[in-house]
Every structure is written in C-alpha cells, then in structure tokens.
Chains A and B, each alone.
Chain A
C-alpha cells in the first residue's frame, strides 16, 4: 500500500524523455548536421567520411535535462602531420572561422579529446563535443572504424594519444534496453545531485553490473537497486576498460577519493530508500518541467473522481 517505487521510476523516466524537448531536439539536430557539413566542406580532402553521431542521443541514453549531440569526425591517415595539428585545426576553425549566430563563441573550447561547442537554442544551452580522430593506417578506417585521438595535456599529465573506436562505443549499448533505462535513471540522479561523473563511466559500470548479476530482477527498482549495490561494492576496485582499447582505462578518470565518495553516496541512498521508500523521490526526482503535463492529468483524475456518487472505495477481500 502507498508509494510504488516502480511506478515512480517509470514516471521519472517518462518525465526525462527526449520527446518532451522534441522541438529543441530537432533544432539541435539541424545544428549538428550543419557542423558535419561544415567539417566536410572545410577539410574536404582530409576527412574520410561524414562525421558520425556519438553522443547520448545516438546511444539512446539521453535525458532531457542533459543531453549532448556529440559527433566524431574521422580524418585520413595522411590528412595532418600530427594528431595535435588535426585537433587544433578543428578547434581553430570553429573558434575563428565558423559562423553561426547560435554558437556561444567564448565557450568554444579545447577539451581533452574534443572541441567543445555550445549553442544557445531557445534559451537552452546545448553542448556539442566534436571529437576528431585519425585512422591508424591508410584506408584502415572503413574496415575497422579505429581512430587515434589526440589527448591534450591536463594538470601534470602530458599530452598523449589514444586509440579508440567511437562506433564501437555506440554499438556497445545497442539492444541493451534494461541497461539504458538504468543509465538514464542514474543520469537523472547525477544531474539533479550535481554529481560529476563521466557518462561513459556510468555506462560501463552499469553494463558490468548487469553482466555480473546471476539473475536480473524483473522490476525497475530491482534493477536500479542491483546496479547501485554493484557500484557501491565495486567502484573502488573495478577496472573499466574502453571496450575499443584495453589500454584506455576508463575507471582511471575518477580519483580514489571520487570513487570513495561515489560508493558512499550509493550506500547512503540505498539505506535511506530502504528506511523510507518515499526517499526515492528525493534522489530520483521527476523532471518538474515536463511533469506539468502529468500534474494536469493527475488533477484531472482527482477532480473527476470527485464527481461520483460513491463516497469511498472499499478494500474488500
């Protein structure tokens, strides 16, 4: 009796659905395609193919409070002298040359493996990472989809390069409906609690949680609980490798302290929710902005339920 955790989680997913931002999404996709066109036009001889979609939207793990329309542009092996030249050429082009009145140009920035673009569309900031990668060998990409990325220096870490396979990342989550739901829920938690964890990290650890489970619970809360318990128990020690490149250790993107805190957060949430189910609403809130439609329906149901002649329902066995 009372609060239904599964129903609530379904509502959370529903209120975070991309369809609520359909208009914004359509406009964002137009921007994305314009960027792809521009890259092809600008670097005509150097590009192998049109850029591919690589963001959460492409992976079906996007939520409407935070989504990105990232792309990855594959370049020819002979396109640039060095990986750094390639990465900087893309950055310079968008920083200095490319014109779009919706781009917030001071926010165009060099990121670890990409150029970050920010669009302001209908008052919403849309983030787009343009990853540039170079094929490993001449004419290798079309058959392997492998790319080398330039990794910019950060703090004390010097510049390096990494081999990856963006297409493989997109494919990784294909057909994994359960995992995608849990990833979206964990993202909703992440955004609402301002927790900064890389989405790719969350995706990989969630997939591992499902793989490690002897039996997958059938209900939504059961699945979420299972994933949260797995994160709590394993985040500090687990090694998460980029499925496209075992040398790229994704779990290293969090420090030990960050891992410890993530484990503790999971522990706290699980205990609070077990103490009182309704605490689930605190950690996994509805997206109020798109709850209004639900709120309306809820009120409609309440109002109409009061137009009857029966005073109260009876729980009869």
Chain B
C-alpha cells in the first residue's frame, strides 16, 4: 500500500489536476487530465476516476471517464462496466509483465488513449485503426504479433512455437526452413513468449475453438 501511495504521489506531481481520494476500502485517483501538446498547448481535457485493481502494477489501473466526452459504448472503447477499454488483453499483459508505474500508465497509455478519443471527436475515426470487437480483435492482434494474415497461419505458428522441441539457437528453425533458429524465428519467438507459456496455451485453445466457426482474418 505504501508503495502504491508513493507511486501515485510521484505521478500526480506531473498531473496537477489529479488527486488521491482515500476511503476506508479503496484508493482512487480523481480529477482532470489536461491533454497538452508541447508546441500547440492544451487540446482537450477529461475528468477521470481511476482505481487500482489487485493485479496492478501487473495490469492497468481501471479508468472511468466521468466528463462524458466519450460515449459509453463499445464503439468508443468503453466496457460495459463503464471503464475504458485501453488495449487487447495480451498486449496489456506484455506491457505490464514487469510491473508498471502510474506515471508510465498516464504518459504512455491513458493520455495517448484519450488523445485518440479526442481525435475521434474531431474526425469521427481512428486514424491508426482499432481491433475489431471481441475475439476477432484477438485474431487481428495475434496476426500482427506473428506476422500472419490467415487464421490458419496464426494457429500453425502458435502451435509450433508452443509444441516444437527446443533444439537450441543454432539448430535449424522449427518452422522447417533451412535457416538457423537464431536467424529465423527467434525474434518473433521472443516477442510472443513474453506472454508466457501457459497463457499462450490458453489462447491457443480459445483460438482453435473459435476457428471451427469462422473464416479468415
């Protein structure tokens, strides 16, 4: 608890509109986040209420946007419990694998996210796209992570990475190409394995089940 308090105190030094609200059973951060661009200056502001789930700092804090600038609909990345949907789950997991600080979360996750929503308010679109609803979005995420455009390839790659025997960095790559592993699948493998074996096996299971009744990405 003390560490969390220090973490928060440090971050809100940089966000003077935010303040800690301590009640008997929980700790929240509430207030205004002013979005500023180094040259252009303020371009928007949001009022937020942030709580810290048990998994924090190995997951994102939960954010509710209370200024109601973002409609509470899935299209605008708001979950049914009114918290903002900030990333696909595996991506959040990778980002938080070593624990995050609250300042990092504000700087690198929440402010960019709110900026994206501000951009949407101006233009009606997300310039850099978004992941589709539900499981389809996960296919897209894994497709990107694995550099695969077909669902079949996503499954094949995942299966090989998870099930092929580890033969060493200098052995021929498990994918069957002539190249050594270290020159072929290594980078991809390292990236994907950040998610952890069990976690990936679980996703492989989910994706395989979903594969029965769906077409390509």
Residues of A within 8 A of B (CB): 1-4, 7-8, 11, 294, 296-317
Contacts and interface: CB of A to CB of B under 8 A. Distances in A.
A297 B114 CA distance: 13
Given A297-B122, A308-B109, A315-B85, A302 B115 contact: yes
B108 A7 contact: no
Interface centre among B92, B124, B137, B141, by most chain A C-beta atoms within 10 angstroms, is: B124
Interface centre among A8, A11, A308, by most chain B C-beta atoms within 10 angstroms, is: A308
Interface centre among A2, A297, A299, by most chain B C-beta atoms within 10 angstroms, is: A297
Contacts of B113: 305, 308, 310, 313
Given A297-B122, A298-B119, A305-B116, A313 B85 contact: yes
A307 B116 CA distance: 11
A259 B141 CA distance: 56
Given A301-B115, A301-B122, A312 B130 contact: yes
Contacts, number: 126
Contacts of A302: 115, 119, 127
Interface centre among B40, B77, B86, by most chain A C-beta atoms within 10 angstroms, is: B40
Contacts of B125: 2-3
A316 B118 CA distance: 19
Interface string B107-135: 01101110110110111111111111110
Contacts of B170: none
A2 B120 CA distance: 9
A307 B111 CA distance: 9
B87 interface: yes
B80 interface: yes
B46 to A, nearest CB: 12
A175 B99 CA distance: 56
Given A2-B124, A316-B137, A305 B80 contact: no
B72 to A, nearest CB: 12
Interface of B: 35, 37, 40-41, 43-44, 74-75, 77, 79-80, 85-88, 91-92, 95, 108-109, 111-113, 115-116, 118-119, 121-134, 137, 141, 144
B44 A313 contact: no
Contacts of A314: 77, 85, 87-88, 130-131, 137, 141
Contacts of B95: 309-310
Interface centre among B41, B80, B88, B133, by most chain A C-beta atoms within 10 angstroms, is: B88
B137 A298 contact: no
Nearest to B119: A301
A307 B37 CA distance: 11
Interface centre among B35, B37, B91, B126, by most chain A C-beta atoms within 10 angstroms, is: B37
A301 B118 CA distance: 6
Nearest to B136: A315
B44 A297 contact: yes
B124 A304 contact: no
Given A306-B112, A310-B86, A310-B95, A315 B77 contact: yes
Given A313-B87, A314-B85, A301 B43 contact: yes
